[in-house]
Amino acid sequence: MSVRVAFIFALFLAGCADNPTPANPSFPVTFSQARQALDDMAAAPRALQRPLVVIGGFWDPNVSPPLFKWEFHRLTGDDRIATVSVGFCGSFDECRQKVIEAVDQAFPTHDPDFTTEVDVVGASLGGLVARYAAAPSDDNAHPRRLRIARLFSISSPHSGATLAANFGFTQFHHDMMPGSAFLRALAAADAQATYHVYPYVRLDDEIVGARNAAPPDHNPLWLANPPLALLAHAGAMSDPRILADIALRLRGEHPFSTEPAAPLPDDPG
Helix, strand, or coil here: 23?
coil
For 32, other C-beta atoms within 10 Å of its C-beta total 12
96 Cα distance to chain centroid: 15
Backbone angles phi, psi at 265, to 5 degrees: -55, -30
pLDDT digits (tens, 9 = 90+) for 57-116: 998 999 999 999 999 999 999 999 999 999 999 999 999 999 999 999 999 999 999 999
Among 123, 133, 129, 124, smallest CA distance to 67 is for 123
pLDDT digits (tens, 9 = 90+) for 108-163: 999 999 999 999 999 999 999 999 999 999 888 899 999 999 999 999 999 999 88
**Among 6-15, 235-244, 259-268, the least confident range:** 6-15
* Residue 173 and residue 227 in contact, taking contact as beta carbons nearer than 8 Å: no
Q: With a cut of 50, say whether residue 2 has pLDDT above it.
A: no
pLDDT digits (tens, 9 = 90+) for 245-267: 999 999 999 999 999 999 999 86
For 226, other C-beta atoms within 10 Å of its C-beta total 22
User: How would you list the strands of the sheet with 196-202, edge to edge?
Assistant: 81-84, 52-55, 118-123, 148-154, 196-202, 221-223
Cα(69)–Cα(175) distance, rounded to whole angstroms?
A: 28
* Residue 170 and residue 164 in contact, taking contact as beta carbons nearer than 8 Å: no
CA distances from 204 to 17, 69, 114, 167, 259 (A): 16, 27, 37, 20, 22
This prediction has a pTM of 0.92
pLDDT of residue 131: 98
pLDDT of residue 36: 98
